[in-house]
Amino acid sequence: MHMLRSDARHFEQFGEVYFSLTRPSIIKAWKRHQRMTLNVAVPVGSIRLVVYDDREVSSTFNMFDEFLLGPKDQYALITIPPMVWTGFQNVGVESALLANCASIPHDPGEVEQRPVNDPSIPFTW
């Protein structure tokens, strides 16, 4: 499996790679980055990735996208632009690993978080 190449059309720049190991049924939501582009893949396990766009000027305003990712489901790279909410849930029976090749290094000041049941994001896990 490969994740991302520097000559891919959607590649911006390298900031850092980080991993999130998640136990079965666990939900990690919601996050929105102000400047960071996420490039997400799931090389181990099965993860339901949800993306919510609340940018009023966007053609996908108030829309959700859902992806079932993992080597047994669909191994794919999902690119998520800045200012879009993301969350994910391990839907498998074993721990799952989400990998993110981010366009900038992590900066706690550029990320916003909301609770999984935040009423401003109308999604039911």
Q: How many domains are contained in the chain?
A: 1
| Any domain includes 118 | no
d(CA 15, CA 106): 8
Task: Say what the pLDDT of residue 10 is.
Answer: 84
Is 90 exceeded by the pLDDT of residue 12?
no
20: number of Cβ within 10 Å: 16
What percent of the chain has pLDDT above 90? 89
83: number of Cβ within 10 Å: 16
| Any domain includes 123 | no
pLDDT tens-place string over residues 96-122: 999 999 999 999 999 999 999 999 999
Is 90 exceeded by the pLDDT of residue 25?
yes
| Any domain includes 4 | no
Indicate the helix (H) or strand (E) that contains 111: strand 111-113
Domain containing 66 equals 33-102
- pTM for this structure? 0.92
| Any domain includes 92 | yes
| Any domain includes 89 | yes
Confidence of residue 65 (pLDDT cuts 50, 70, 90): very high
What's the CATH code of the domain at 66? Answer: 2.60.120.10
Is 90 exceeded by the pLDDT of residue 36?
yes
3-state class percentages of the chain: helix first, strand second, coil last, to nearest 5: 0, 45, 55
